[in-house]
Amino acid sequence: MKTFRCNFGYGVIATMTAPDEYPGAGQSYQKTEWTCDLTRKIVKRIYPRYKQWVFHCTQNLADDWGIAIVYVFLLPDNGLEAWRFESGKSEPSICTPDRKQP
């Protein structure tokens, strides 16, 4: 089992666990446990560091498993943001929805 842990301050610590081997398409691959209930105020405070931590964890998993992973963030303002992490690439790419041109 792979374990990633981060102390965000404000009494907030997150621990993400994932299996050593890729669990297969459509399967949940990670679980995150928090040391507290996340309020909107706390989420706004820790979001930039949380996003950076998730980028690190997800890129490590993509590299270890040799796959691409799409991670979707629920933003503090209730928006969504999706990122694609590919094995061997140093930076993720943002996913944009396919839109039909008029």
Q: What is the pLDDT of residues 86-95, one digit of tens each?
A: 999 989 999 8
**Predicted structure pTM score:** 0.86
Residue 13, helix vs strand vs coil: strand
The pLDDT value given to residue 101: 43
Whether 5 shows a pLDDT value over 70: the answer reads yes
| Cα–Cα distance measured from residue 60 to residue 55, given in angstroms and rounded to the nearest whole number | 8
Measured CA to CA, the distance from residue 66 to residue 14 in angstroms comes to 25
| Domains in the chain: boundaries | 2-95
Amino acid at 85: F
Which residues, in sequence order, are CB contacts of 98 under 8 Å at separation 6+? none
> Is the pLDDT at 48 greater than 60, yes or no?
yes
Q: How many CB atoms lie within 10 A of CB 93?
A: 12
CA distance 99 to 10: 40
* pLDDT above 80 for 18: yes
